[in-house]
Structure 1
Amino acid sequence: MSDTATTQILAFIKGRFPDVEIDASQDIFALGFVNSLFAMELVMFVEKTFSVTIPNTELQLDNFRSADSMAALVERCSAAVAV
């Protein structure tokens, strides 16, 4: 998993919640940070920042629970484009 992707995603999340300490493995849904609008913002951020298109099959909650899981998604989507 890309440390750079994880760092960028975590910075985006922290930018929305600057008063909260959060690490890359924490479940942002369980913490109550995500509503439907922020979920869409996460998708848009990931696609734009990493120049990937997230297929509908990958639009699953588990892929967006943490910065680590989103970085893994970026890696999979990037690998699919490279093939």
Structure 2
Amino acid sequence: MIGNAIMLMFIGMGIVFVFLVLLNAAISLLEYFTREHTRNEESAMAEADLARKNKKKRKSMPASGSHVQTAVISAAIHAYRKV
């Protein structure tokens, strides 16, 4: 009876092991077949990120404008708290 239990345990563990090996192989094949698409996506994302950074740099206010912006924000907060 204990021998049957041990045999059943090893059969179950073997089936799970085979399933995990097949799952790993399937994921590796999927990675292999989608490699080119992934490279294209990464390069497009890098270009978009670079364009966004360049756009941010062009839109940034000069240092003297930051004082004005701070004053405007402070005045708006003060007016809001008065109400």
TM-score (structure 1 length as normaliser): 0.24
User: Higher relative contact order at CA 8 Å, sep ≥6: structure 1 or structure 2?
Assistant: 1
Larger relative helix fraction? 2
TM-score (structure 2 length as normaliser): 0.24
